[in-house]
Amino acid sequence: MGGRMRRSIPRSGVRRSCVNAAAGGAAFAAFGQAVAFAGLAAGAIATTPVSAQTADRSVQPAPWRCSVRIPERPIMPCGADPIAGAPGFGGVADSWLRIGQPVADLRLAPRAPQPEPGVALAASALVPGAGQWLLGNDRWVPYIAVELWGWITFLNRRSDARSLARDYRDLAWFVARRVSVGDRRDTIFEYYETMTHFAASGTWDADPEAPGVQPEFDQTTFNGDLWALARSLYFPGGINYQPGTGPYQRALAYYLQNAIPPSFTWAWGDSFLEQQSFRELIRRSDEAYRTSTQILGLILANHVVSAVDALVIGRLQGGRSDSRLRIGSGFEPAAGRVARLRIQATWRW
C-alpha cells in the first residue's frame, strides 16, 4: 500500500507554479532587454575586436564592434506557444531573445575627414556660408541669409532707379526739350542733372547770321554761364580779347566742347511745377542708384568675411595642413621705397 501511495498535487498548485514561473521568466526577459538597451546606449557592455591584429595589420588597428549577448537559453513563459508567442507579453517567437543573438552591433567608425581650410575659404569666397557648411558649422545660416537679402535688395533698388530714370527722361522730353532740334536722343545723367539748375540751356549760336559760332552771353542760361567761365579761364587780367586772337580761340574751343548743342536744347519756361517734379525724380533715382551700390559693397564684404571665417574655423577644427590651396601674405622690402605688400595664392596639383 505504501508503494502505491502517492502524494497528489492539486491542479491549482500546478497552475500557480506555472504562473509563478511565467512571471519570473517575464521579469528576467524584461531585465535582459533593459540591460541590452542600456549597453547599446552606453556603448560599453562588451567590446570585442572583429579579428585579432596580425603582423601585417599592426600599423592600422582593426575595427571594433560593440555586441550584447543574451543568456544561454531562450526565455519563454510556461504554456507559451513557440509559434504564436506568449499571450499577454506582446511578442511573437521571433522576437524573443535567443541564444547568441546580438542585440546591438555598433561600429565605431572614424570621424569623416574635414575639408582643407583652403577649400573652405574658396567655397565661402564663392558662396558665403558654403565653407562653414562643409565644415559642419552652423554659422553658414547668417552668411547665406545676408547674401540672399543683399541680392534681392540690390536688384529691387536698381530696378527702381531705372524706372525713375525713364520717368524723368520722358518728362524732360515732353516738357523742357520741346525746343530741341531733331529726333529724341537720351544722354548721360549729368545732362539731366544740369537741367535742374538752369531754367534754359541757352542758344548754341547767339548770331546764326554771323560767320562762325557766336557764344551765348546770357549768364542765366547754361551756355551763357559756360562762356563766362571760359573767358575767366583764358582771358588773363580781364581783358576782352577779340575773335581771331589766341586767347579768344582757346576760350571758344572750350565753349564748343562743353556747350549744349541745338539737338539737346531745353527751356522750362513757365513749367515750374514740372521742373520741381523733375528735380524730385532725379533725386530719388540718384538715391536708388547710390543705395544699390552700397548694397553691392555689403555683398562683397559678406564674401570676404565669410571666407576668412571659414579659414579660421578650418584651422581651429584641425584641418589638414597639407592643403593644396595655400594663401600667404608678407611685405617685400624695396630699396629707397616703402615696403610693398605681397599677397600670393598657390595651388598644388
Beta strands 325-334; 105-107: pairing state: unpaired
Residue 334, in any domain of the structure? no
Same domain, 171 and 245: yes
Q: Please report whether residue 134 resides in a domain.
A: no
Residue 176 lies in a domain: yes
CB 280 within 8 A of CB 171: no
- Domain total in the chain: 2
pTM of the model: 0.55
The pLDDT tens digits of the residues spanning 30-87 come to 444 544 444 434 443 333 344 444 344 444 444 444 444 444 444 444 444 444 444 4
Residue numbers of the domain that contains 281 = 155-302
Are 202 and 277 in the same domain? yes
Query: 70 and 176: one domain?
Result: no
Average pLDDT over the chain, rounded to an integer? 73
Q: Do 21 and 160 share a domain, yes or no?
A: no
Long-range contacts of 298-303 (CB under 8 A, 24+ apart): 298/146, 298/150, 299/147, 299/150, 299/151, 299/154, 302/128, 302/143, 302/146, 302/147, 302/150, 303/124, 303/125, 303/126, 303/128
The mean pLDDT value for 195-210 works out to 91
Is 256 among the domain residues?
yes
116 part of a folded domain: no
Quick one: 87 and 26 in the same domain?
yes
C-alpha torsion 91→95→96→102, nearest 10: -150
In a domain, 4, yes or no: no
181 and 97 inside one domain = no
Whether residue 46 is contained in a domain is answered as: yes
83 found inside a domain: yes
Q: pLDDT for 112-164, tens place per residue?
A: 567 888 899 999 999 999 999 999 889 899 999 999 999 999 999 999 999 99
